[in-house]
A and B are shown apart, each in its own frame.
Chain A
Amino acid sequence: MERKLIVTSSPHIRSKEATDKTMRDVVIALVPATLAGMYYFGFQTLIVVLLAVAAAMATEAIIQNIRKQPITVMDYSAAVTGLLLALNLPPEVTFWMPVVGSIFAIAIAKQAFGGLGHNFINPALAARVFLIASWPVEMTTWKFPVDAVTEATPLALIKGSRIVPESVSIFNMFIGKIGGCIGEVSALALLIGGIYLVYRGVISPRIPVAYMGTVAVLTLLYGGFNFNYMMFHLLAGGLVLGAIFMATDYVSSPMTAKGQIIYAVGCGLITVVIRLFGGYPGGVSFSILFMNVVTPLIDKYVKSNVFGGVKK
């Protein structure tokens, strides 16, 4: 028979899932938060977002070109990194900062370690921390939405206190009428995106729920069972953004369900410790980065029992 039959080992069918579709879903899930940022902080946030995304994609393309690798900028993964970084920047940030941040994220945190799938820490968070460490003043100057007055974020206001100031409304914090980074202010918009990701099967709710749950329990205890205080901590700062979109980054989080819970509880614990006792007002970025580094260790030691294996 002269027919050319293809012979491969089984299975002979593949699911329709693909990396670029997954990443595109993340972009879609971030649209509500991006729009909320624009609504509260104005048009210049769009420029920040576009600059960060463009810089990330350009850096990826250039480096892949130099490394003689296939150019994969259209797989949305660089776009997601740029977008996440932009959403983690103050709304009034000078326009070169998202560009510098994106170049750092892609060139240092991602491509230097081997590109997609090999970055041991979340590139967007690495870039954010790089920017905070290098330009602390620019990175912590906040604009309060609507009346455009520069003032402290809620987390800075509450530092060292166990009572929520009367000027802070939990409802405003939920919808996003507070100071903060472009994408972190509206918990509502972020939750919509998170529900979309869970619905699409892109993320499992394990990490966000365990992360926020840990923060909730610890702040409830610390605040003396003050429900308002707990809600404040859940909605303030980058917790919702971090828990849903950053801590769930595939590459830098553990693979097993058990490992993911340990990782998420670790994130929650460190976040609360930094917020309550540390020098920085917010602790989400640092806690996730720290747990990113712990991830290989978790993956090494936390394994599920094999089917029919000895129960421990």
Chain B
Amino acid sequence: MNLLSFRGGIHPPHSKEMTEHLPVEKALEPEIVVIPLQQHIGAPCKAIVEVGEKVKVGQKIGEAGGFVSAPVHSSISGTVKKIEKRMIINGTGTCIVIESDGLNEVHESVVPKGDVETLEPKEILDIINEAGIVGMGGAGFPTRVKLSPPPDKKIDVLILNGAECEPYLTSDHRLMLETPEDVVYGLRAVMRVLGLEKAYIAIENNKMDAVLSMKEAAKEFTGIQVVVVKTKYPQGSEKQLIYACSQREVPSGALPMDAGAVVSNVATMSAISKAIRTGMPLIERICTVTGDGIVEPKNIMIKNGTRISEIIAQAGGYKGEPGKLILGGPMMGFAQFTDDLPSTKTTSGVLVFTEEQARLPEPNPCIRCGKCVDICPSFIQPFAISAYSLNGMFDMAEKNNAMDCIECGSCSFICPSKRPLLHSIRMAKREILSKRRKTK
């Protein structure tokens, strides 16, 4: 079989065997949820409830704070206890703390919205907007914005991202196996919004069971094509996936829509399907709790705002002394210094490493082996940008296309001298961006 793919990339160990065959379990009902007002790229929400107010499941508690924003909803029924700044992933942010009354009463606004075939594209877009749906693959970009390209951008390629190229994570895999019809339903809604007859569902060839499951679910819809892509990291990266499926390169510095493409995650489709069919906004998701530092790795359906420490406890707790706690996968996830954090719409994985795994090797001098250049999926030269960055020569880093880095981390992974390549490139990107802001 001729597999679709991109140029460059790496083959990290999958490490998915711990959870890929485990059906999704429902998490225990949280007694308290902490719902951050910012769970997406863009402006934070404004709280529309007050301390002491009763809220129900699915009730909107935070209104979108701008065009690029998405509302948040309560995932339980109970009482608002506090609205305060709390630690969230990557910093602090205002959160709404709700104490459960244990009843899980559903809010009156949660009613079926109709059928995808009869709803108007504009209506579907409003449902997606009201349900607070964001890209669930990790970045959390508001889906409504993604599906509303400016009129001059003609979208003709729609790709569903079921690649799940991050090692360890299996939440999308399980979703495609267990509720593929939700994914297809959501996809049909998006096709309607964009006015497209055709769409791809791209899945890596290490998940052939998911390929079969999706093919079966999509067989009535001739416009939907399940394509098998090569198992290679970062296959699930937006630009790389567009290239694999359509051989189009998103122009440097531009967005997928500039190449006429929209990529969205399979879990996002499932959320859209729920929002249309049941009216329930995005208040829960599948999360893979895994790693050698977890007693009983599993895939669980968690309610938005559940604390990470509770999620870990439900997977048997820590095995030994944890060395590193990562939200997301090992390639692009974020290491945390505490587990007292709320989960969000984008918490696809909670990964715990042992102390031994957590320690990164000491860097040695670059031997100019060129491996980072060979594997870079953006075709830039990580070693050169890194060297410029470490010497404070950020203008040279910019000239060497530092801004084209997609931060996939393949260079740092492959480097035989264990150099902090991505780390230093990120530093250069920050400096370049802050300089650009200043000169504007």
| A-B interaction | yes
A contacts, CB < 8 Å to B: 1, 3, 5-15, 17-19, 21-22, 72, 77, 115-118, 204, 250-251, 253-257, 260, 299, 303-310
Contact in complex: B331, A11 (CB < 8 Å): yes
Besides A304-B373, A307-B252, 11 other CB < 8 A contacts?
A5-B323, A6-B323, A6-B335, A9-B423, A12-B358, A17-B371, A118-B365, A251-B367, A256-B373, A307-B377, A308-B254
Contact in complex: A10, B10 (CB < 8 Å): no
Partner of B413, one of A14, A251, A307: A14
Q: Is B394's beta carbon under 8 Å from chain A?
A: no
Report the nearest A residue to B366, measured CB to CB: A117
A117 to B415, CA, bound (A): 13
Report the nearest B residue to A254, measured CB to CB: B370
Chain A residues closer than 8 Å to B13, beta-carbon distance: 13
Chain A residues closer than 8 Å to B409, beta-carbon distance: 10-11
Contact in complex: B335, A7 (CB < 8 Å): yes
Chain B residues closer than 8 Å to A307, beta-carbon distance: 239, 243, 249-250, 252, 377-379, 404
Chain B residues closer than 8 Å to A3, beta-carbon distance: 321-322, 339
A136 to chain B, nearest CB (A): 32
Contact in complex: B10, A117 (CB < 8 Å): no
A101 to chain B, nearest CB (A): 22
A118 to B336, CA, bound (A): 37
Q: Mask for B152-189, Cβ within 8 A of A = 1, else 0?
A: 00000000000000010000000000000000000000
B411 to chain A, nearest CB (A): 9
Contact in complex: B322, A5 (CB < 8 Å): yes
A116 to B384, CA, bound (A): 17
Q: Is B38's beta carbon under 8 Å from chain A?
A: no
A188 to chain B, nearest CB (A): 27
- Nearest 6 interchain pairs by C-beta: A11-B409, A117-B365, A17-B416, A308-B249, A308-B252, A255-B370
Most chain-B CB neighbours within 10 Å: which of A17, A72, A204, A254? A17
Chain B residues closer than 8 Å to A22, beta-carbon distance: 367, 369, 416
B294 to chain A, nearest CB (A): 14
Given contacts A255-B370, A303-B381, A307-B239, contact A1 B412 (CB under 8 A): no
Given contacts A11-B413, A116-B365, A118-B365, contact A306 B401 (CB under 8 A): yes
Q: Is B435's beta carbon under 8 Å from chain A?
A: no
Contact in complex: A13, B368 (CB < 8 Å): no
Q: Is B200's beta carbon under 8 Å from chain A?
A: no
B28 to chain A, nearest CB (A): 21
A121 to B330, CA, bound (A): 38
Chain B residues closer than 8 Å to A256, beta-carbon distance: 370, 373, 381
Chain B residues closer than 8 Å to A305, beta-carbon distance: 379
Contact in complex: A12, B330 (CB < 8 Å): yes
Chain B residues closer than 8 Å to A260, beta-carbon distance: 370
Q: Is B324's beta carbon under 8 Å from chain A?
A: yes
Given contacts A3-B321, A11-B412, A255-B383, contact A250 B252 (CB under 8 A): no
Chain B residues closer than 8 Å to A251, beta-carbon distance: 367-368
A18 to B409, CA, bound (A): 17
Q: Mask for B292-320, Cβ within 8 A of A = 1, else 0?
A: 00000000000000000100000000000
Chain A residues closer than 8 Å to B412, beta-carbon distance: 11, 14
Report the nearest B residue to A201, measured CB to CB: B371
Chain B interface helix/strand/loop/mixed: loop
Contact in complex: A306, B252 (CB < 8 Å): yes
Report the nearest A residue to B334, measured CB to CB: A10
A7 to B335, CA, bound (A): 5
Chain B residues closer than 8 Å to A309, beta-carbon distance: 251-252, 379, 401, 404
Chain B residues closer than 8 Å to A12, beta-carbon distance: 324, 326, 330-331, 333, 335, 351, 353, 358, 360
Contact in complex: A19, B426 (CB < 8 Å): no
Chain A residues closer than 8 Å to B422, beta-carbon distance: 9-11
Q: Is B340's beta carbon under 8 Å from chain A?
A: yes
A303 to chain B, nearest CB (A): 7
Most chain-A CB neighbours within 10 Å: which of B333, B360, B414? B360
Contact in complex: A19, B416 (CB < 8 Å): yes
Chain A residues closer than 8 Å to B247, beta-carbon distance: none
Given contacts A17-B371, A303-B381, A306-B380, contact A10 B331 (CB under 8 A): yes
Q: Mask for B380-417, Cβ within 8 A of A = 1, else 0?
A: 11011000000000000000110010010110111111
Q: Mask for B184-226, Cβ within 8 A of A = 1, else 0?
A: 0000000000000000000000000000000000000000000
Given contacts A12-B326, A255-B381, A308-B252, contact A250 B367 (CB under 8 A): yes
Chain A residues closer than 8 Å to B324, beta-carbon distance: 5-8, 12
Contact in complex: B370, A10 (CB < 8 Å): no
B254 to chain A, nearest CB (A): 7
Q: Which of B240-258 contact A (CB under 8 A)?
A: 243, 249-254
Contact in complex: B378, A7 (CB < 8 Å): no
Contact in complex: A10, B333 (CB < 8 Å): yes
Q: Mask for B255-269, Cβ within 8 A of A = 1, else 0?
A: 000010000000000
A3 to B312, CA, bound (A): 14
A117 to B336, CA, bound (A): 34
A19 to B367, CA, bound (A): 8
A304 to B378, CA, bound (A): 10
B90 to chain A, nearest CB (A): 11
Report the nearest A residue to B426, measured CB to CB: A9
A204 to B353, CA, bound (A): 34
Can you list 13 A-B contacts with CB-CB less than 8 angstroms, sorted by A residue number? A5-B323, A5-B324, A5-B358, A10-B332, A11-B332, A11-B409, A11-B413, A12-B351, A15-B416, A250-B369, A303-B400, A307-B243, A308-B250
A204 to B330, CA, bound (A): 28
Chain A residues closer than 8 Å to B239, beta-carbon distance: 307-308
A256 to B373, CA, bound (A): 7
Contact in complex: B370, A5 (CB < 8 Å): no
Q: Is B278's beta carbon under 8 Å from chain A?
A: no
Chain B residues closer than 8 Å to A116, beta-carbon distance: 364-365, 367
Q: Is B374's beta carbon under 8 Å from chain A?
A: yes
Contact in complex: A15, B252 (CB < 8 Å): no
Chain A residues closer than 8 Å to B332, beta-carbon distance: 10-11
A94 to chain B, nearest CB (A): 33
A18 to B415, CA, bound (A): 8
B191 to chain A, nearest CB (A): 25
Chain B residues closer than 8 Å to A14, beta-carbon distance: 360-361, 412-413, 415, 418
A266 to B48, CA, bound (A): 70
A302 to chain B, nearest CB (A): 11
Contact in complex: B325, A5 (CB < 8 Å): yes
Chain B residues closer than 8 Å to A1, beta-carbon distance: 309, 338-340
Report the nearest B residue to A11, measured CB to CB: B409
Q: Is B12's beta carbon under 8 Å from chain A?
A: yes
Q: Is B440's beta carbon under 8 Å from chain A?
A: no
